[in-house]
Copies of this chain bind each other. A is one copy, B any other.
Amino acid sequence: MKNMIIASTSTIYGSGYLEYLLPTLNDFFKNIKTILFIPYARPSGISYNEYTNIVAKAFSKIDIVVQGIHQFDNPNIAIEKAEGIFTGGGNTFELVNQLYRHDILVTLKKVLENGTPYLGTSAGSNICGVTMMTTNDMPIVYPPSFTTLGCIPFNINAHYLDPIKGSTHKGETRETRIKEFHVFNNTPVLGLREGSWLEVLGNKICLCGNLTARLFQKDKEPIELESGGLRF
**Residues of chain A at the chain B interface (Cβ within 8 Å):** 9-14, 42-45, 90-91, 93-94, 132-142, 145-146, 158-159, 161, 168-172, 176-185, 194
Selected from B43, B141, B170, the residue in CB contact (under 8 A) with A194 is: B170
Bound: A94/B141 CA distance, A: 17
CB distance from A71 to the nearest CB of B (A): 21
Bound: A135/B137 CA distance, A: 9
Majority secondary structure, A binding face: loop
CB distance from A163 to the nearest CB of B (A): 13
Specify which chain B residues have a CB less than 8 angstroms from the CB of A194 in the assembled complex. Answer: 169-171
Bound: A146/B146 CA distance, A: 13
Bound: A158/B169 CA distance, A: 12
Bound: A9/B172 CA distance, A: 11
CB of B134 within 8 A of CB of A42, answer: no
CB of A171 within 8 A of CB of B180, answer: no
Selected from B43, B146, B179, the residue in CB contact (under 8 A) with A139 is: B146
